[in-house]
Structures are given as C-alpha cells and as structure tokens.
Chains A and B, each alone.
Chain A
Amino acid sequence: MSVATLTEMVDEIRDGMTVGIGGWGSRRKPMALVRALLRAGRRDLTVVTYGGPDVGLLTASGCARRIVTGFVSLDSIPLEPHFAHARQNGNVALTEYDEGMLYWGLLAAANRLPFLPIRAGLGSDVMRVNPQLRTVRSPYGDDLLVAMPALDLDVAMIHLNLADDGGNGRYLGPDPYFDDLFCQAAKRRFLTCERIVPTTELVGAGPPQTLLTNRSMIDAVAETPHGAHFTSCVPDYGRDEEFQREYATTDWDTFRARYLDGDESDYQKAIRR
C-alpha cells in the first residue's frame, strides 16, 4: 500500500481490463482518475458502474469497449449525451442489468461466490439481452431465481472525502454508494480523495461507521483536491451544474481540447477561468 500519483495508478491499468468505478450517476465519481485514464489512451476497457459522466468520458474518448450498468445519467440532466450517442452509433457494447442485479454481482464477487440468487430480472428483457444469464431453482423449494454472476473486477477506482496514507478512508456525504463493494470485488484498488490527513485526524473527523475503507481494501491512495469535479462530493462541493451543462452541450472534440488535452492541474485551472 502506498501513496501514489494518478500516473502511477493509470500505469497499472492495461488495455482490455475490467474496471469498476464507484459513486452513483453524477455523484462522487473518481473523475481525476477517469481523466488520467482517458489521457493515457487506454483501449478496450470493460467498465462496471452506476453510470454517470465517467461513462460519457470513457465512451466518447474510445477507451471503453463495453459498459456494464443499469443506467447512465447525469441526474439533473437525465440522459448522458455521449453515452447515448455511442449507443445509437453502435460504438460501445452494453451489458444491461437491473441496478439491484449489479449490486448483487458486486456482492457475489466480494464474497468470492460465483453468483448470488435474485428475483430482479425475471420476466424482463434483461434476460433477453443477456443470453448468458442463467436461472436457478431454490434447493429448498420451487422458487425460480436469476443466478446473478459475480462481477469480478481487475481494478476498482473510488473517490472519498478523506483518507490517510494507508488507505483508511471516510465519506462525509449522506451515502456510501457501493464503493467498499467495488474495492472488495477487485484485484487492484485505487482510492482518490479530497485530502490525505494523518490517521488521528481521519479518525476524529466523524463516527467510526463512516470509515468506509480500511487498509486491507486499498492498494494505492492519491490526493486529488476537487478530484470528483464536475460530479458532486458533498459536503466539500456540490455538482457543478453549469460545467455539466457545458459538457453535455459541447461537441466532444471542442470539450476535449478545452479541458482534457493538458494534465489534471491544467484541468483544474481551466475550470476556474
């Protein structure tokens, strides 16, 4: 376990890997790390996520080959325009699950199980568009259930408000989302955070149950202030609605040239203009 730079983290993520991304929709996404991945020009990634602009950035830039998700949304802007564009043009493959199924798939992977049974999906076209999905009879009765396969990840990427240099991490907002599960489902686990603080300060910053990650769950931590921008990272900052509108309405090449061609510090400077 070590404190690392975004470049060091991205160097460990190779073409074709399956990458899980924490947060939810347009909330607390590890955007600095997503931007670094995009700049490094990774290809053929399978991205497992409760989708937001992480999906838009990785599809528009050609990094993602497949998205595994239940939805992709910018929340205050319901539909993710870059993802929608890629789907309508056949530029990205999709594995579409019920969002509870996605949770169960992470739970299975985290518990080293091949699958977990769930009712969600039965009768719906989720079964039609995922012909690999199997059902299972309860061994204790007649219930027919979906055998949701484990979502084993090569890499998990999450963003929290605070962490120490060991990977103990705390969320200060209202929802942990599924960030701990993403880490438990993955072989390599990267945590970015608003601030790295001494352990005593981390522990003093709130009740113990909001310490979401511990050292066993994280391989490297990086301090990326404002690193979830333009998604929300409350209470440090809310979603940058104005920027999100610009992202959603600007053509990709213009947006990329304006904000993504430099490095993360260039990005942070550019958004403050």
Chain B
Amino acid sequence: MTTRAEICVTACAEAWRGDGAILASFAGTVPGLGARLAQLTFAPDLLVTDGEATLLRDDAVEGWLPYRQVFAMVAAGTRHVMMGASQLDRHGNSNISCIGDWERPKRQLLGVRGAPGNTIGHTTSYWVPRHSPRVFVEHVDMVSGIGGDRGAHEIRVVVTDLAVLDFATPDHTMRLRSTHPGVTVRQVVDATGFPLVVSGQVPQTRMPTAEELALIRDHLDPDGRRDR
C-alpha cells in the first residue's frame, strides 16, 4: 500500500524534472527525499548537498559548496529551491518572516532568509505539509518570496499533503494541477483561503513507480522519516 508521504515525495521529485545540472535545494524531509529520488532516477544531473557544504551523489561526496558559492548560484540562476511557506497567496508570494504587523509581529518567524533572492534569481517551488486556509491566504503579511505578479523568475509547483498546484493559468494565478489519491477537489478548495482555479477534470497525482517505491523505502528512507 503506497502511503500519502510516498506520493508526496514523488510529487516533490517531479518538481525538478528536466532541470539539468543545477543545485536542487530544499527545506524539509519530504522535499529532501524528493530531490535525492529525482537525482537517482529521472534527473541524474542534479546537484544535491548534505545540507551543509558537501555535494553528494547518492551519499558519496562529489564536491564542495560552501554558503558563499550557494549565493553565487542564486545570483546566477543555476538553482531550483523547494522552500517552506508559512503563508502563500494565489500569485505565489510567500511569507516566512513573521505573522502580523512587521513592526511588532504577533509571531516572529525565521526572517526572509534567502527567499527574496531565490524567487527573483531562479526557479522556486514550495512544500506545504499541511494544506489549510491559514497557509493559503488572500494576502501574506510580509512578502518574503515574490510571486509572479511581483517579478518572480518562475514559481513552478506547490506540493501539499493534499494536492499539487501550479500557475499554468492566463494570469499566472494558482491552479489545482492534481489531487493526491483519496483526496477530492472539494477538500482542496475548502482548505484554500482564496478561490483556486479548477479547470475541467482534475487528474490524480501520479503514483510512484515500483522502482521509485523501492528506492524510497529501502535506500533513501529506511527509517521512515517521511511519515513523521
């Protein structure tokens, strides 16, 4: 029985399909497994780090990438990051800085980190582990990562625990691309705090192949971190 987490890992991996020899960066366990799965299967040229300064090809060291070189790749555009987002709007503007008024926030979060540079410099995707109206909002409190309406390079996909979303609409607003097996369109629409574009028959997110499942279960994540 394929689990939702395994479908999410595969959906995250899909974000990097066709990217070539660029740096796949990620925040979180599921996108991390996705990047490594993509590198092992359909995107063999991807560069993946250990989260510090070492480039790894399937757990073996293949290079060095300290923070200062990551910033050069951000500026050069040779990177595709899958970030987290505390808030996300229909244009793909994201917030990881603070909740409430910036001057005196209700909740101080991480800070904008590299989100402004990432989103203007190279392709960005998002991973949202709990799809809810609290995350998918009309307006984000602090635009950390910029969306399509503010000059983003490319916001490619948003993978959540319920669905895959993209911006393939005439005005580049968020669209429901696929729902995960067992999830209805209504569930996704109800969990989104703005009107989601839903056009025609929404397909189901693809299942991992037998090879992909074996890689996830036996090789990449034998301890089941994806389920936590």
Residues of chain A touching chain B, judged by Cβ–Cβ distance below 8 Å, are 24, 51, 69-73, 78-79, 83-84, 87-88, 90, 96-101, 103, 118-126, 128-129, 174-178
Chain A residues near B108 (CB, 8 Å)?
A: 79, 83-84, 87-88
Report how far A79 CA is from B98 CA in the complex, Å: 11
CB atoms of B113 and A90 under 8 A apart: no
**A97: B residues at CB distance < 8 A:** 112
| Contact of A124 with B144 in the complex, beta carbons under 8 Å | yes
Instruction: For the A-B complex with A88-B104, A100-B114, A178-B67 known, give 5 more contacts whose Cβ atoms are closer than 8 Å.
Output: A72-B111, A96-B111, A98-B113, A98-B116, A123-B151
A120 touches B117 (CB 8 A): yes
A124-B111 CB under 8 A given contacts A174-B52, A175-B52: no
Q: Select from chain B the residue with minimum beta-carbon distance to A129.
A: B102
| Structural contact, A120 and B120, CB atoms closer than 8 A | yes
Known contacts A70-B111, A79-B110, A174-B64; A98 and B143 CB within 8 A of each other: no
B111/A51 in contact, CB under 8 A: yes
Could you tell me which residues of chain B, from 95 to 119, have a CB within 8 Å of some CB in chain A? 97-98, 102-117, 119
Is the pair A71, B111 in contact by a Cβ cutoff of 8 Å? yes
Q: How far is the CB of B12 from chain A (nearest CB, A)?
A: 20
Most buried by B among A73, A98, A121: A98
- In the complex, which residue of chain B has the Cβ closest to the Cβ of A69? B111
B68 at the interface (CB under 8 A from A): yes
Q: Give the 6 A-B residue pairs with the shortest CB-CB distance, closest first.
A: A120-B117, A71-B111, A123-B150, A174-B53, A87-B108, A124-B116
| Interface membership of B42, Cβ < 8 A | no
| Contact in complex: A99, B113 (CB < 8 Å) | yes
Contact A98 B109, beta carbon cutoff 8 Å: no
For A121, give the chain B residue with the smallest CB separation: B116
Q: Give B residues with C-beta under 8 Å from A.
A: 52-54, 64, 66-68, 71, 74-75, 97-98, 102-117, 119-121, 142-146, 150-152
Chain B residues whose C-beta falls within 8 Å of the C-beta of A98 in the assembled complex? 112-117
The residue in chain A whose Cβ has the minimal distance to the Cβ of B100 is A88
* B111 x A100 contact (CB < 8 A): no
A122 cross-chain contacts in B, Cβ below 8 A: 116, 120, 146, 151
Q: State in angstroms the CA–CA spacing of A73 and B114 once bound together.
A: 13
The smallest beta-carbon distance between B97 and chain A, in angstroms, is 7
B151→A96 contact, CB < 8 A: no
Q: State A154–B113 Cα separation when bound (angstroms).
A: 24
Closest to A126 in B: B116
CB-based contact B68/A176 at 8 Å: yes
Complex Cα distance, B115 from A97, in Å, reads 10
A95 to chain B, nearest CB (A): 11
Given A24-B67, A125-B143, the answer on whether A79 and B117 have CB atoms closer than 8 Å is no
Q: Quick one: closest A residue to B52, CB to CB?
A: A174
CB–CB A71/B110 < 8 A: yes
Q: Are B102 and A125 in contact (CB under 8 A)?
A: yes
Q: Cβ of B143 and Cβ of A88 under 8 Å apart?
A: no
B23–chain A nearest beta-carbon distance, Å = 14
Contact A99:B117 (CB < 8 A) given known A122-B151, A174-B52, A174-B64: yes
Write the chain B residue with the least CB distance to A232: B52
* A125 CA to B101 CA, complexed, in Å: 12
Is B116 touching A175 in the complex (CB atoms < 8 A)?
Answer: no
Interface contact B110-A73, CB-CB below 8 Å: yes
* Most interface-central of B54, B71, B143 (chain A CB within 10 A): B71
- Write out the residue numbers on chain B whose beta carbons fall within 8 Å of the beta carbon of A125: 97, 102, 112, 142-144
What residues of chain A lie closer than 8 Å to B146, measured between beta carbons?
Answer: 122-124
B145 touches A124 (CB 8 A): yes
Which chain B positions have C-beta within 8 A of A71?
110-113
